[in-house]
Amino acid sequence: MATSTPIDYPVCLRLEGRRVLLVGGGAVAEGRALALLEAGARLHLIAPDVTDTLQRLAAEGRLDWERRAYASGDVRGHALVLAATDEPAVNQHLTAEARELGLWVNTADEPELCDFTLPSVERRGPITVAVSTAGQAPALARHLRRELGAQVAPHHVWLARLSGWLRRRLPRGPRRQRLLKQLVEGEPGALLARGERGAAVARLRSELKTFKSSGEFT
Ligand SMILES: C[C@@]1(CC(=O)O)c2cc3[nH]c(cc4nc(cc5[nH]c(cc(n2)[C@H]1CCC(=O)O)[C@@](C)(CC(=O)O)[C@@H]5CCC(=O)O)C(CC(=O)O)=C4CCC(=O)O)c(CCC(=O)O)c3CC(=O)O
Ligand SMILES: NC(=O)C1=CN([C@@H]2O[C@H](COP(=O)(O)OP(=O)(O)OC[C@H]3O[C@@H](n4cnc5c(N)ncnc54)[C@H](O)[C@@H]3O)[C@@H](O)[C@H]2O)C=CC1
């Protein structure tokens, strides 16, 4: 069995307001479209036929659908390109065009043609669990994503939101780092895991007093 598959470099893209091209309108394209819209992308869809859901999204003005086949040059002006047609030659052609222009491209049917692949994703509030298998086993990625996602408990989501709130208010620096690590790994985190939210908040309050007394926290 080959073991030399290169390791992928994971990133979380901020797509809010960015133009993304999706070519193809079947079940696979629909899954990508929903995730891209959730991330706030300005979605441009090119396909002669699309699913009912994609048609509805286009009618609601949530995405911009051109009812036609891909034509040379369509990739221009997009931050990201995703090919999900059932025509390998079309996917190959638009991948070559995208790369020529330095654009990042994903194709649903050919890992070799992907500059980025899509992991299996589970969300809990601001927390994302994503599993990739470097294109080797998408069904396993989905299975593991479910198992790992189930380990993210409500108190983790609460901790993430609380940490975000504190980070917006406390000045950067080693003291804030210590406090936020302590929040997760120390007693407040342990109390929260046991469902003792009141005790966790009391503990955090006493730790925050040191910021208040130094005048760093308002
Ligand atoms: C390389 C990659 C490119 C990309 O799409 O980015 C790719 C490629 C291909 N997938 C194929 C098949 C299947 N894909 C799924 C499911 C998912 N596939 C996803 C990602 C990826 N799929 C990327 C690598 C991810 C990684 O590294 O792990 C997930 C995780 C994310 C998503 O798509 O959003 C999503 C789960 C979403 C969820 O959590 O639910 C299932 C299972 C099912 O559907 O139940 C099957 C059937 C089982 C099987 O075939 O393995 C085929 C053959 C098509 C054919 O035979 O016609 C190809 C092409 C090829 O490999 O040649
Ligand atoms: N990555 C993944 O997770 C998976 C990928 N696949 C692969 O994804 C591809 C798409 O699968 P489905 O959505 O099920 O296919 P589908 O047959 O339901 O849809 C294909 C779509 O491509 C469009 N299309 C065809 N020629 C086109 C052109 N020249 N320009 C623009 N659009 C064009 C069609 O109008 C249709 O909307 C297949 O190649 C399949 O092997 C399949 C399963 C999972």
Q: What is the pLDDT along the chain (218 residues), one digit of tens a residue?
A: 555 667 889 999 999 999 999 999 999 999 999 999 999 999 999 999 999 999 999 999 999 999 999 999 999 999 999 999 999 999 999 999 999 999 999 999 999 899 999 999 999 999 999 999 999 999 999 999 999 999 999 999 999 999 999 999 999 999 999 999 999 999 999 999 999 999 999 999 988 887 767 655 55
**Ligand 1: distance of its center to the CA of 204 in Å?**
44
Ligand 1 centroid distance, CA of 25 (Å): 16
CB-based contacts of 61: which residues, under 8 Å, 6+ apart?
none
Structural domain that includes position 76 = 19-118
- Same domain for 97 and 161, yes or no, is no
Q: Judge whether 9 lies within some domain.
A: no
User: What is the rounded distance in angstroms from the CA atom of residue 158 to the CA atom of residue 166?
Assistant: 12
Look up residue 128 and give its amino acid. Answer: T
Strand partners, 44: 21, 64
State whether 109 and 159 are in the same domain.
Answer: no
Please check whether residue 46 lies inside any domain of the structure: yes
**91, 118, 145 - which closes a domain:** 118
Residue 139 lies inside a defined structural domain of this protein: no
**In this predicted complex, what is the ipTM?**
0.95
How many other C-beta atoms are found inside a 10 Å radius of the C-beta of residue 87? 14
Q: How far is Cα 23 from Cα 84, in angstroms, rounded to an integer?
A: 6
Name the 3-class secondary structure at 81.
Answer: strand
Q: How many domains does the chain have?
A: 2
Q: Is there a contact between 22 and 33 (Cβ–Cβ < 8 Å)? A: yes
Is residue 13 a part of any domain in this protein?
no
d(CA 41, CA 205): 39
User: 45 and 107: one domain?
Assistant: yes
By the 10 Å C-beta count (0-12 exposed, 13-18 middle, 19+ buried), 154 is classed as exposed
Mutate to test the pocket of ligand 2, among 51, 67, 86, 91 (most ligand atoms within 8 A of CB): 86
Residues 96 and 165 in one domain: no
Within a domain: residue 143? no
Do the domain assignments include residue 171? yes
The Å distance, Cα 195 to ligand 2 centre, comes to 46
**Token output for 110:** 């050919």
Decide if 100 is inside a domain. Answer: yes
On whether both 114 and 195 belong to a single domain, the answer is no
Residue 64 is part of a domain; what is its CATH number? 3.40.50.720
Distance CA 165, CA 199 (A): 19
Distance CA 146, CA 111 (A): 23
Q: Which of 7, 110, 118, 123 to mutate to test the pocket of ligand 1 (most atoms within 8 A of CB)?
A: 118
Tell me: do 23 and 112 sit in the same domain: yes
- Calculate the dihedral angle through the C-alpha atoms of 117, 122, 123, 127, rounding to the nearest 10 degrees: -80
Measured in angstroms, how far is the CA atom of residue 217 from the centroid of ligand 1?
Answer: 48
Are 30 and 114 members of one domain? yes
Domain presence at residue 130: no
Residue 50 alpha carbon, nearest atom of ligand 2: 37
**Contact assessment for residue 58 and residue 65, using Cβ atoms and an 8 Å cutoff:** yes
> Atom of ligand 1 at shortest distance to CA of 106?
6
Protein residue with least CA distance to atom 19, ligand 2? 26
Whose CA is closest to atom 37 on ligand 1? 120
- Domain finish residue from 57, 90, 118: 118
- Atom index in ligand 1 nearest the CA of residue 146 equals 39
Is 107 found in the same domain as 25?
yes
